[in-house]
Amino acid sequence: MSRFLGQHILSVNQFDLDAITQIFNVADTMQVYTRREKRTTVLDGAILGNLFFEPSTRTRVSFGTAFNLLGGEVRETVGVSNSALAKGESLYDTARVLSGYSDVIAMRHPDAGSVEEFSKGSRVPCINGGDGPNEHPTQALLDLYTIKKELAFHQRDINGLHIAMVGDLKFGRTVHSLAKLLCLFKDIRFTFIAPTELGMPDYILDTITNAGHQFNIQDSLDGQFDADICYQTRVQEERFPSKEEANKYRGKFRLNQAIYTQHFKSKTVIMHPLPRDSRADANELDNDLNQNPNLAIFRQTDNGVLVRMALFALALGVENKVKDYERAVPWHYHSN
Amino acid sequence: MSRFLGQHILSVNQFDLDAITQIFNVADTMQVYTRREKRTTVLDGAILGNLFFEPSTRTRVSFGTAFNLLGGEVRETVGVSNSALAKGESLYDTARVLSGYSDVIAMRHPDAGSVEEFSKGSRVPCINGGDGPNEHPTQALLDLYTIKKELAFHQRDINGLHIAMVGDLKFGRTVHSLAKLLCLFKDIRFTFIAPTELGMPDYILDTITNAGHQFNIQDSLDGQFDADICYQTRVQEERFPSKEEANKYRGKFRLNQAIYTQHFKSKTVIMHPLPRDSRADANELDNDLNQNPNLAIFRQTDNGVLVRMALFALALGVENKVKDYERAVPWHYHSN
Amino acid sequence: MSRFLGQHILSVNQFDLDAITQIFNVADTMQVYTRREKRTTVLDGAILGNLFFEPSTRTRVSFGTAFNLLGGEVRETVGVSNSALAKGESLYDTARVLSGYSDVIAMRHPDAGSVEEFSKGSRVPCINGGDGPNEHPTQALLDLYTIKKELAFHQRDINGLHIAMVGDLKFGRTVHSLAKLLCLFKDIRFTFIAPTELGMPDYILDTITNAGHQFNIQDSLDGQFDADICYQTRVQEERFPSKEEANKYRGKFRLNQAIYTQHFKSKTVIMHPLPRDSRADANELDNDLNQNPNLAIFRQTDNGVLVRMALFALALGVENKVKDYERAVPWHYHSN
């Protein structure tokens, strides 16, 4: 029985290296199901309450698909207007009620701390699918899992990694969480490339230093980087006081094939939390990188299903039984 | 084969004591599945059309979960804007079409009588999940089922019950329906505590008198009540002409631990249709009651799943076959 | 292995007579499941991404139900506001990501060509569920399948058919697609009854002529028609520049029982893409036709499930295995 049985997943702060190893080991065993080589019904009859009080198609569907691939059912709620919350119901009450309708809950909410508050009323494990500016731990886990797999492809492990993080590092929830998780490993080098006003917060820099790792700070994409990973982030317009303010930074930390070739080594893996803005004036991660085999952004979202399957299996204590409920897959087509 | 096979559930008026006994007997057999002691797939392949033309997270998810726990699938529609109704389609046409996509339908709609109108076009049984100010029969059933179970815990049955109903009794659909159902039993005493303007309607009072039961009316929460049940209702703001009008009544029929101790006996069970408004100025049912073991509000919503499972099983004629499709549950964690 | 394995269904233009025969033959085998005589779980574990960036309850639920009836699960997205598309994500990116969460995708979108653009990024087969004014191939297939079945009931086949198409033939996507498909058969006679301004476009008339079929054009519902099928279309208000412009044409091509008896022979089958507008001033297809056994409009929507099941089975290559995963259905009630 694992330490995750019946537990909430609220923050990356609750993970140590052993926890991460456990999650990733279980995630590895899920690939046979995401590739449709086999089918498992270990969670037949279990119900995921997929509560997206703030919409997010990608994350919502990824959680739902992960649960379906384990054989479970998904009951979904999207948007706060559909909810009793709009009538003044407390998160505690909502949690008490809705947790009676499911075996595990995945929840996104616009307010920081809301998922933790909800979890106090919940009678089943809750997984934070993003609570506003605060935490999105499954994104951090899938990012780290992607790094592990991409490095493994080059016969490397995470210890000794050099990662460049580019763009808006102040408001980018994902880079904060990923940096914290990387601090659990050994000899990590960080290069932070951001405008001064949007730099990595001091508390993250302190965490890095205290954990014995190194970082460099640059205010533009200049020079040569021997980074193993280039983690690009979106200029999140909604974090700025105005569209004008946001536009000032647009395109300044752009990555396209020519810029990539100029600044990075040929094996540098490109990551991004998605969605990327593909409008003409966005210029955050150009489409001409789509043919670059090091562009790992869609492998990231694929990995999200594996990581979420692992978390569900661990929270419900079936991580060692998944295989017992395996069966053959009769359909012929799958491209994954 | 039960009388419910293929029948619509539209109103509490269609139930007699025998019908209620049948439903509750089936509901009792469902507890093994809601507690995840066993899994059943008796409705594998059946589809619930869960049509919420008016949003209601709690009721919608409860119906969906109930159907999933019987092994069925759920196809869901939320909000009238998503619907052909917005293009002038009649409820008859909508029902003819959507009933071809499912085996049973649960429906909520803002207009009184709409579910009955819909049911005339439907080729499958329809369960009214609330048609505006009119009816919400599954809420009444789960309330009554909760009363039965709470009393059974104290070695009592419903006959001879004393129930206090508090708050807005004029617009409170749930207290009207519950009062009607209680009239099927023997020697019920009702105490209605409401402002004069929001008192229980005369036709309910007549029903009670005609059925040989007794009632008292009070315009405030004064004195000692030996009630077995205190059924508190929400001041439903949207029923008032204005927010100001609603606010006049807010807090006047508040219940908290101190008020409970002052006015009720120590075993009085507290019920509420939920959601309760937990905002500071709402004061309908305070959070300090959450530790009171007689607060049954979350047992009510849990019971809703049992009652809805029973209705689905009866409408589709599988109430005696549920056990034949039973299997073991492999996952370890459930708190219910 | 059929030609449909792993293929997108984007347009009626991709079908020849052989393709249609294959689809309809598979659709015929699905009736045992839609009638609940048997259950199949051939697609157990497969996931449909049901992406309705433009809402359409009927089409969305029909796709979902079809997939459930094959044993698969449905992950649904409704409305563009819920989507990363709103943050500037390209359809290519959305497709790459969401196709990693499913085995097949059904998609509706308000923009012409959007589903084809999406399909270029998708790693799984995409079925066009309507891309604005452009195409809605599954509607055309279910219309044609309905014609085939209705004629078969009268011991006829499609060759030699006389079809009248009535109403708004300029903006009516369904009549264009159906006309194209009918051109694949022999000796079809078309009668187009529409105001001059809303007549069938020239390119469709050319297609008909080039395929060796005949057509007549009338600007009102005058005279006697020996049509086998009368396909009525809705005055689609949203296609007109203003409500006033739309109202000019309302009611001019109305069909009710008296008009039907006056103009059509007693076996003429009445079809309509639905929804029909049942408001008093709409007058497109009156409710007094509901008792007419030739009114096939609800058989059309029922047939939609059969056709969509066939497309899913073909796209995933299980069309010959459906029966191997058959089981008995334990519930008693179904009216289909």
Looking at CA atoms only, how far is residue B79 from chain A in angstroms? Answer: 9
DSSP state at residue C264: B
* Assigned token pair, C210: 């080039």
Please identify which of the residues B3, B35, B58, B334 carries the catalytic annotation: B58
Chain C hits for A288, CB-CB cut-off 8 Å, are none
pLDDT for residue B303 is more than 90: yes
Question: Is residue B281 very low, low, confident or very high in pLDDT (cuts 50, 70, 90)?
Answer: low
Asked about C87 being catalytic, the answer comes back as yes
Which chains border C (3 or more CB–CB pairs < 8 Å)?
A: A, B
Q: How many residue pairs from chains B and C have C-beta atoms closer than 8 A? A: 116
C-beta atoms of B317 and C335 within 8 A: no
C-beta atoms of B57 and A316 within 8 A: no
**Region C148-160: what's the mean pLDDT?**
95
pLDDT for residue A270 is more than 80: yes
Looking at CA atoms only, how far is residue C39 from chain B in angstroms? Answer: 6
Q: Which of C3, C75, C77, C124 to mutate to test the interface with A (most CBs of A within 10 A)?
A: C75
Taking phi first (over 0 means left), then psi (-120 to 50 degrees means alpha), and beta for anything else, what does residue C167 get?
left
pLDDT 10s digits, A28-87: 999 999 999 999 999 999 999 999 999 899 999 999 999 999 999 999 999 866 556 667
**Region C147-175: what's the mean pLDDT?**
94
Chain C hits for B316, CB-CB cut-off 8 Å, are 331-333
Chain B hits for A6, CB-CB cut-off 8 Å, are 332-333, 335
| Predicted pLDDT of residue A2 | 87
**Region A212-218: what's the mean pLDDT?**
97
Main-chain phi, psi angles of C270, to 5 degrees: -100, 125
| Predicted pLDDT of residue A241 | 75
- Within 13 Å of residue B139, how many CA atoms lie on the same side as its CB? 27
Interfacial residues of A (vs C; Cβ cutoff 8 Å):
33, 36, 39, 41, 55, 57-58, 60-62, 64-65, 68-69, 71, 73-74, 76, 78-79, 274-279, 282, 287, 290, 298, 301-302, 305, 327, 329-336
| Predicted pLDDT of residue C85 | 64
3-class DSSP state of B136: coil
CA separation for the pair C183, B130 (Å, rounded): 49
| Predicted pLDDT of residue A250 | 65
Which chains border B (3 or more CB–CB pairs < 8 Å)?
A: A, C
3-state SS of A119-160 is: HHHCCCCEEEEEECCCCCHHHHHHHHHHHHHHHHHCCCCCCC
pLDDT 10s digits, C200-235: 999 999 999 999 999 999 988 889 999 999 999 876
Share of chain B above pLDDT 70, in %: 93
Chain B hits for C79, CB-CB cut-off 8 Å, are 82
pLDDT 10s digits, B31-72: 999 999 999 999 999 999 999 999 899 999 999 999 999 999
| Predicted pLDDT of residue B278 | 79
Please identify which of the residues C3, C35, C58, C323 carries the catalytic annotation: C58
pLDDT 10s digits, B216-231: 999 888 899 999 999 9
pLDDT for residue C333 is more than 70: no
pLDDT for residue C313 is more than 80: yes
ipTM of predicted complex: 0.94
CB A88 within 8 A of CB B279: yes
- Rg, C-alpha atoms of chain B: 20
Question: Is residue B305 very low, low, confident or very high in pLDDT (cuts 50, 70, 90)?
Answer: very high
Q: Which residues of B193-223 are buried (b: 16+ CB within 10 A; e: fewer)?
A: bbbeebbbeeebbebbeeeebebeeeeebee
pLDDT for residue A93 is more than 60: yes
| Predicted pLDDT of residue A84 | 61
Least Cα distance to C276 among C134, C174, C189, C180 occurs for: C174
* Assigned token pair, C47: 């996931």
Residue C206's contacts (CB-CB under 8 Å, 6 or more residues apart) are none
- For residues A222 and A159, the model is more confident at A159
Least Cα distance to B68 among C46, A75, C329, C62 occurs for: A75
Looking at CA atoms only, how far is residue B94 from chain C in angstroms? Answer: 8
Chain B hits for C275, CB-CB cut-off 8 Å, are 84, 87-89, 93-94
C-beta atoms of C317 and A331 within 8 A: yes
Question: Which whole-number Å values give the CA distances from C162 to A292, B237, C126, in the listed order?
Answer: 56, 59, 33
Looking at CA atoms only, how far is residue B42 from chain A in angstroms? Answer: 12
> What is the set of active-site residues of A?
58-59, 87, 108, 136
Averaged confidence pLDDT in chain C: 92
pLDDT 10s digits, B169-204: 998 889 999 999 999 999 999 999 998 888 999 999
Residue B258's contacts (CB-CB under 8 Å, 6 or more residues apart) are none
| Predicted pLDDT of residue A331 | 84
Question: Is residue C197 very low, low, confident or very high in pLDDT (cuts 50, 70, 90)?
Answer: confident
CA separation for the pair C229, C296 (Å, rounded): 10
H-type alpha helices, B86-196: 91-98, 114-121, 137-153, 173-182
Residue bearing tokens 């009678």: A123
pLDDT for residue B128 is more than 90: yes
Question: Is residue A243 very low, low, confident or very high in pLDDT (cuts 50, 70, 90)?
Answer: confident
Chain C hits for A79, CB-CB cut-off 8 Å, are 82
DSSP states along B202-243: HHHHHHHHHTT-EEEEESSS-S-B--SEEEE----GGGSSSH
| Predicted pLDDT of residue A74 | 98
| Predicted pLDDT of residue B79 | 85
* Assigned token pair, C189: 């006679």
Chain B hits for A49, CB-CB cut-off 8 Å, are 61
C-beta atoms of B103 and C36 within 8 A: yes
pLDDT for residue A336 is more than 60: no
pLDDT for residue B336 is more than 70: no
* Assigned token pair, B234: 């929400």
Least confident of A234-248, B72-86, B203-217: A234-248
Asked about C59 being catalytic, the answer comes back as yes
**Region C247-256: what's the mean pLDDT?**
76
Helix (H) or strand (E) holding B50: strand B47-52
C-beta atoms of B88 and C277 within 8 A: yes
| Predicted pLDDT of residue C196 | 84
Walk me through the domains of chain C, giving residue ranges and CATH numbers. Answer: 12-135+304-327 (3.40.50.1370), 138-298 (3.40.50.1370)
Asked about C41 being catalytic, the answer comes back as no
CB B169 within 8 A of CB B198: yes
